[in-house]
Amino acid sequence: MLEPFIEQKSRQLIFYLSRFLRGHLPHRELHLFVWDTLEEWSQLRVKSWRPETLREQVFWYLLYQIEYWSEPELKQNAHIRRELRYCLSFLHGYGQLPCHCVGVRP
């Protein structure tokens, strides 16, 4: 039940965040994706806060980063953008686990 959710939402997150970072998606759409994802997650009624996989951990970390940083920071801060891309490459399956990613479930 949880693994298919994380897998599907990870693919969607890769799509949305990649397009945003390339300037092809408005911040508002990225924000709406995050909140729609959180709404769907809440319907699963998961009790544990600990991610089951490293992929899930990076997924939650990215969602947090998207909401934590302001739109101008997400668009202009080279360090933040590099970190987001590094996490995206891990989600995509061709990067290494970012050592700084500590994501937990909402």
Q: State the residue for tokens 């500590």.
A: 102
Would residue 104 count as lying in a domain? no
Residue range 8-19, pLDDT digits in tens:
999 999 999 999
In a domain, 105, yes or no: no
Residue 41: domain span: 2-92
| CB 23, CB 81: distance < 8 Å | no
Tell me whether residue 84 is in a domain: yes
Q: Could you give the number of structural domains in the chain?
A: 1
pLDDT value of residue 98: 83
CB-based contact 50:21 (threshold 8 Å):
no
CA distances for 68 relative to 1, 61, 89, 93, 98, angstroms: 28, 10, 20, 25, 18
Flag whether 49 is in a domain. Answer: yes
Checking if the pLDDT of 1 tops 80, the result is no
39-86 pLDDT, tens digit each: 999 999 898 989 999 999 999 999 999 999 999 999 999 999 999 999
CA distance 100 to 102: 6
Structural domain includes residue 97: no
Tell me if 99 is assigned to some domain: no
Closest CA to 104 of 44, 66, 48: 48
Any domain includes 101: no
